[in-house]
Amino acid sequence: MLSSSIVDRTSLLKNLFRSIFSQFMQNNGFLLAGAMSFYILFAIIPFITLFYTVTGWIVPPEILAKTLLQLKDFLPSQMQLEFIKSVEILKAIRTGFTITSLFQSIIATVFIVWVASLIFDVMERSLCVTFHVKKPRPVWKSKLTHFLLMLSLALLFIATTTLSLVTQMMSSVLRSSIPWLLDFLGEDSILLPFFRFVSNLVYSGILFFILYKSSTPAKLKKRSYIYGSFFAAFFWAVAKFLFGFYISKINDLTLFFGTLSFIMRIALWVFYSSLIFILGGEVAWFFEQKFKQHQRFSAKRQESLKSN
């Protein structure tokens, strides 16, 4: 009985990966990932600027700085220090940039919002191909949805930053009052990397779920979105570790690109992330088709039982 269940699970996994890869190649997944990478790299600075501005409307500067630095978690650990330096430079440029007229400010705002929304535009177009959406949203509705999505992500970042600060305060109080908790909550704790991995996995899964569910007009079941989201979150965490290991132990690209090596590392990481994002969408679509097949089979079975 146990061996048959193991065989069934193995065959399901084989069918899963075979179907996902076949559908990925049929949908020109590498071209979609390349298009996503291009537009993300083109729009990333306006997006961070808009994110910094919108978040600044809601929270004080102290939490804003911590929220902005939370973006570094999207990168492998070996690239986070360079990202922090780049963010500080961007903040200095933004602080020193002044607009003298109302007309210029309106033009600049429209330009930044439009270019920043290109990230979500290319996500929507890629997922429309993955989810086989025949009729995409109108442009105005798509842009409005993307702006609301940016606000939702800003609120998510603020909430997680606040939760992280509260958790740090509670852990410091507990460690001072109960010294033996240092074995579990201290920086040298064996369990700490595990807790960080699980929390990052859950956080990334929620983020992917929001993007998959909100980026397109497709109406998939929540279970399909959940499977695709946590598939993408898990393999994204694995890819972060492997890519960080590669650039720190094997080749950091400095030999080939010199001072431009950080830009090339960002470009490669964005491309790998785009691949994982599209593959997660393929997983969601695979399970959606499986659920529909199961529903059709159940309906036919009930009809046959009624007729008998």
Domain residue ranges of the chain, discontinuous segments joined by +: 16-307
Confidence of residue 132 (pLDDT cuts 50, 70, 90): confident
In 3D space, the residue among 135, 115, 106, 103 whose CA is nearest the CA of residue 47 turns out to be 115
145: confidence class by pLDDT, cuts 50, 70, 90: confident
Would you give the DSSP letter of residue 178? Answer: -
pLDDT at 40 (0 to 100): 86
Q: Which residue, among 222, 263, 33, has the nearest Cα to 130 in the 3D structure? A: 33
Which of the pair, 245 or 9, is modelled with greater confidence? 245
Report whether 235 contacts 275 (CB < 8 A). no
The model's pLDDT over 219-239, given as tens digits with 9 standing for 90+, comes to 888 899 999 999 999 999 888
Tokens of 179: 């010294």
> How far apart (Å, rounded) are the C-alpha atoms in residues 62 and 65?
5
Cα 122 to Cα 276: distance, rounded to the nearest angstrom: 15
| pLDDT of 142 | 83
The residues, any chain, with a CB within 8 Å of residue 213's CB and separated by 6 or more, are 220, 222, 225
Indicate the average pLDDT of the chain: 76
Confidence of residue 114 (pLDDT cuts 50, 70, 90): confident
Residue 289 CB: number of other CB atoms within 10 A?
A: 13
What pLDDT shows up at residue 173? 61
pLDDT at residue number 186: 53
Q: Confidence band (pLDDT; 50, 70, 90) for 62? A: low
70 vs 95, residue with greater confidence: 70
CB 220 within 8 A of CB 284: yes
Q: What is the C-alpha separation between 45 and 270, in angstroms, rounded?
A: 14
Most confident among 33-47, 90-104, 226-240, 283-297 (mean pLDDT): 226-240
Q: Give the pLDDT confidence score for residue 231 in this predicted structure.
A: 92
